[in-house]
Amino acid sequence: MRPLTLRRLLLQCLILIVILFFVVIVALKFGAVPVSLYALGRDLLRVIFGQSSQISTDYGLIILNIRLPRILLGIIVGASLSVAGTSFQALLRNPLADPFVLGVSSGASLGAILALIAEPHLALSPVFSALLTPLGAFLGAAATIAAVYFLGRHEGQIDSTTLLLGGVITGSFLSAIIMFLMSTLTGSLRGITFWLMGDLSTPLQKSVYWFLGIGFFVAAGAIYTTASDLNLLLAGEKEAMHLGVDVPRVRLVVYIAASFLTGLAVSVSGVVGYVGLIVPHIMRFIFGSDHRTLLPTAAIGGAIAVVVADTLARTVVAPTEVPVGAVTAVIGAPLFIYLLRKRLT
């Protein structure tokens, strides 16, 4: 393994950031209403220099109020799921682990739905009401990963096959509960079905974007502090303990932070599957398995993947829109089957 330097890490991240920038430009351009690159560049410069008043109302509504917030949401969701998937794969020593396959996304979805059901019956201020859904999603994700972990643990060691099967069964069970709730609920909550398939079109307040961004950097930063320990954990928990790793602390930090990231993403986008599984493998193939490099590159790679998937979801059958989770599933499922067969052979 080549020694990691700050210059090399920054160069790798810069390359991905440049790719993300061009992907964002493409996402802003394409949609049900076509936009020229010249007009797009001109109006973005106006926004940067504080001249937003010179942008036409209709044009500003499409670019600044619809597409740009959706792209920002896709960046946060993709980065959160990829970092969570990378950390789960390292901690559980299972290359097939990710929030979707382990059932964590389903647990977060169930927690978010239960929070939405309970919200009208609680006398909460608007600030606490806005935080109730992310909190419910986090608690659901944390409870699910704890259950899957104990299912996959045998005689002090993690059995990868049992862990994977436990996650799939747990996710199916929780999905059945969600479908039961959806079929018995009345009113506006019945429309949440489309959102559960992965949807980035839900309008959010600016304060929510700040909460999502700060929450991501805090949780991802907490996981990054364990990057060197995650490298050692790949050899096994007992071996890592002999090398001086505080395994219980690392496990607690990663479980809480990764569950928080999953809950954060699911609470605003629903279930966007396979991002946390496929993206870490691609980044690992390109940049290596050192988690000091893998975690930041996976975050940017996940952002690129979700923005591209959402752009396809908006444009493939325009003006009709398909759930972004359906796009990631169509692309990710064949890759997952390939990884599964490669793992079992």
- pTM for this model (two decimals): 0.88
Is residue 107 in some structural domain?
A: yes
Range of the domain at 311: 73-344
Classify residue 41: in a domain, yes or no.
no
Low-confidence winner among 12-26, 103-117, 217-231, 295-309 (lowest mean pLDDT): 103-117
Q: What is the pLDDT of residue 188?
A: 56
Per-residue confidence band for 2, with pLDDT thresholds at 50, 70 and 90: low
Average pLDDT over residues 287-312: 94
Of 29-38, 94-103, 259-268, minimum mean pLDDT range: 29-38
Whole-number Å distance between alpha carbons of 249 and 49: 46
Question: Is position 25 within any domain?
Answer: no
Residue 53, pLDDT above cutoff 70 = no
CATH number of the domain that residue 275 is part of: 1.10.3470.10
Establish if 17 belongs to a structural domain: no
Q: What confidence category does residue 92 fall into, taking pLDDT thresholds of 50, 70 and 90?
A: confident
Residue 199 confidence (pLDDT) above 60: yes
pLDDT, greater one: 213 or 39? 213
Tell me the pLDDT band of 344, cut-offs 50, 70 and 90.
low
Q: Residue 16: inside a domain, yes or no?
A: no
* 292 has pLDDT over 90: yes
| Count of domains forming the chain | 1
**Confidence band (pLDDT; 50, 70, 90) for 50?**
low
Mean pLDDT of all residues belonging to the chain: 84
Give pLDDT tens digits for 129-161: 777 888 888 889 889 988 888 887 766 666 767
Q: Is residue 177 part of a domain?
A: yes
Query: In the chain, pLDDT over 90 holds for what percent of residues?
Result: 30
pLDDT band at 243 (very low <50, low <70, confident <90, very high): confident
Q: Is the pLDDT of residue 77 over 90?
A: yes
pLDDT over 60 at 116, yes or no: yes
Q: Is residue 272 domain-resident?
A: yes
pLDDT at 345: 58
pLDDT of res. 244 = 87
Residue in 308, 250, 253 with CA at minimum distance from that of residue 278: 308
pLDDT band for position 1 (cuts 50, 70, 90): low
Q: Is residue 213 part of a domain?
A: yes
Top pLDDT among 335 and 74 is at 74
Looking at residue 312, its pLDDT comes to 92
* Range 243-271 average pLDDT: 88
pLDDT (0 to 100) of residue 28: 87
